[in-house]
Amino acid sequence: MKPLRFAVLGCGFWSRFQIAGWREVGGVELAAIYNRTRAKAEAIAARFGVPAIYDDAEELLKREQLDFVDIITSPETHGQFVHLAARHGVPVICQKPMAPDLPTAESMVRACEEAGVPLLIHENWRWQHQVRQLKRALDGPELGKPFRARLTYSTALPVFENQPFLAELERFILSDMGSHILDTARFLFGEARSVYCQTRRVNPKIKGEDVATVVMEMGDGVTVTCELSYASPVERDCFPQTLALVECRDGSVELAPDYWIRVTKRGAGTHSARHAPPRYEWADPAYDVVHSSIVSCNANLLRALRTGEPAETSGQDNLRTMRVVFGAYESAATGQVVAL
């Protein structure tokens, strides 16, 4: 099958892992790369053998024959690049968070619909191996209907050291990590009907919030609490793992540290199994569970581009996640429950 030609827009921290993930999937050809600082584009191009380098995204789109673009720039620029690709009739994959505000996200979806090109969001968190196994346990008949769940992402990792721009964001953890964790909640439990949120800024050296507690009432009657923190010096820091406890009618399932899933059935005890993620040579060992999920996510997006079938994380789908994220910000600002 002929490889799909694509270009990468943006050469920041995540670009080298995203490109490596595409190479792992196969079936694509990286034809060109853009970055506003040309030296960064030259460095990534040299690393991956990319033949064409640009510091003007519009020139790239005019000159290259592409099957899609992969936008890996900072969130405040996603809108302009998605609109640019749509005007050139090029399908788009865009990193999360989709946009810095809900109107921009809605305009991105609308622009691609009007241009007749797919908009896909690289939302990889739900593609983590242990999260898929958790979903499988919940979908089975043994545990019965869930009624309450807690997802926890709490760490003291100095994330600002390798991504210093995060310290300058007026909106931080809900936008950056909330887009992951709230999307995972949707994947596991369906759509949210309402959201209530409280936020804190514990680190005095950053502009945005680094702690958030989100409570959602899901459409199927499950109450889901999501705990997010980059300010928690806990005894065992499990970065970047997401932990979970789901209580069901006939049992419970726990996603515990080090990828253990413990399923407890009423009257039948507990069964435990470890579901470690795949490991790739190009992945940073500190981020291996995240980096391995890039491969699964990219494979799903590529299949959608090839077949025309819906991707799991389309622009339309991720817009629902964005509504929860920005609903949580509204709740934190007003102190009120926000209906969705």
Convert the pLDDT of each residue in 280-303 to its tens digit: 999 999 899 999 999 999 999 999
Residue 319: per-residue pLDDT:
98
Mark whether 80 and 107 lie in a shared domain: yes
Rounded CA-CA distance 10/59 in Å is 15
Domain-located, residue 80? yes
Mark whether 174 and 276 lie in a shared domain: yes
Residue-wise pLDDT for 241-293, tens only, equals 999 999 999 999 999 999 999 999 999 999 999 999 999 999 999 899 999 99
Domain-located, residue 307? no
Final residue of a structural domain among 122, 149, 170: 122
Mark whether 94 and 163 lie in a shared domain: no
CATH number at residue 160: 3.30.360.10
Mark whether 147 and 207 lie in a shared domain: yes
CA distances (Å), origin 306, targets 1, 118, 224, 263, 312: 10, 11, 35, 38, 14
Mark whether 130 and 272 lie in a shared domain: yes
Are 111 and 103 spatial neighbours (Cβ–Cβ below 8 Å)? no
Mark whether 154 and 115 lie in a shared domain: no
Positive or negative: CA dihedral 38, 315, 13, 101:
positive
Mark whether 35 and 105 lie in a shared domain: yes
Q: 3-state SS of 283-321?
A: CCHHHHHHHHHHHHHHHHHHHHHHHCCCCCCEHHHHHHH
Mark whether 269 and 183 lie in a shared domain: yes
Positive or negative: CA dihedral 217, 312, 166, 326:
negative
User: Could you tell me the residue range of the domain that residue 324 belongs to?
Assistant: 126-283+320-339
pTM of the entire predicted model: 0.96
Final residue of a structural domain among 122, 151, 173: 122
Mark whether 263 and 187 lie in a shared domain: yes
Final residue of a structural domain among 122, 147, 167: 122
CATH number at residue 96: 3.40.50.720
Domain total of the chain: 2
Domain-located, residue 69? yes
> pLDDT 10s digit of each residue in the chain, 340 long?
899 999 999 999 899 999 999 999 999 999 999 999 999 999 999 999 999 999 999 999 999 999 999 999 999 999 999 999 999 999 999 999 999 999 999 999 999 999 999 999 999 999 999 999 999 999 999 999 999 999 999 999 888 887 888 899 999 999 999 999 999 999 999 999 999 999 999 999 999 999 999 999 999 999 999 999 999 998 899 999 999 999 999 999 999 999 999 999 999 999 999 999 999 999 999 899 999 999 999 999 999 999 999 999 999 999 999 999 999 999 999 999 999 9
Q: How many CB atoms lie within 10 A of CB 132?
A: 14
